[in-house]
């Protein structure tokens, strides 16, 4: 099959054309209402478009205390203000409105440890405190904001 379709408006295929399409695995769709034909073409085109990747903010976390621990690095004592932060969230560190980590294009900040009290946590919701350490980054200060986000695929639509 070629994944092709034939869309007709106010026409009928000949028996020969119908047989050939069937043999080749080509679908024939006939319409007598123009907006239904247009809708079919639009849906077919949208199906060919690659989905776009968008960033979805999942958490806003305030750093309230910083602990430097030898052999471990910096642990940020945090309060989750909005959303929920999870161990597999991508993160960025914001200081006075400016992203200070990660700063390289295409680089992704990762959480190396997320704890509630002394226990490992999978996620921490708004209104709770937690301890966060960021993989390969230790310059965390009180007042910094850790923003959690995820990358989601969004199907492209024609306007």
At 47 the pLDDT is 83
CA gap 98, 63 in Å, rounded: 15
Mind listing the domains of the chain with CATH numbers? 5-48 (no CATH), 53-154 (2.40.30.10)
Q: For residue 107, is pLDDT > 60?
A: yes
Q: For residue 1, is pLDDT > 60?
A: no
Whether 60 and 79 have beta carbons less than 8 Å apart is answered as: no
At 150 the pLDDT is 93
Query: In the chain, at which residue ranges do the beta strands (DSSP E only) sit?
Result: 5-9, 27-31, 52-69, 73-86, 90-95, 98-101, 109-116, 119-120, 123-125, 129-134, 145-154
Query: What confidence tens digit (pLDDT) does each residue in 3-59 have?
Result: 788 999 999 999 999 999 999 889 899 999 999 999 988 988 888 888 899 999 999
Whether 107 and 84 have beta carbons less than 8 Å apart is answered as: no
At 2 the pLDDT is 67
């Amino acid at each position: 099959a070629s994944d092709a379709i034939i869309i007709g408006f106010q026409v009928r295929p000949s028996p020969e054309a119908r047989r050939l399409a069937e043999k080749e695995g080509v679908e024939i769709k006939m319409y007598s209402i123009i907006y239904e034909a247009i809708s079919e073409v639009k849906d077919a085109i949208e199906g060919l478009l690659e989905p776009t990747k968008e960033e979805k903010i999942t958490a806003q976390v305030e750093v309230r205390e910083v602990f430097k621990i030898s052999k471990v690095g910096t642990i940020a004592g945090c309060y989750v203000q909005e959303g929920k932060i999870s161990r597999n969230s991508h993160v960025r560190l914001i200081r006075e409105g400016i992203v200070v980590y990660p700063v390289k294009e295409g680089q992704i900040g990762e959480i190396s440890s997320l704890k509630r009290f002394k226990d490992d946590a999978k996620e921490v919701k708004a209104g709770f405190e937690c301890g966060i350490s960021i993989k390969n980054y230790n310059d965390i200060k009180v007042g910094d904001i850790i923003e959690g986000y995820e990358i989601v695929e969004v199907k492209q639509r024609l306007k």
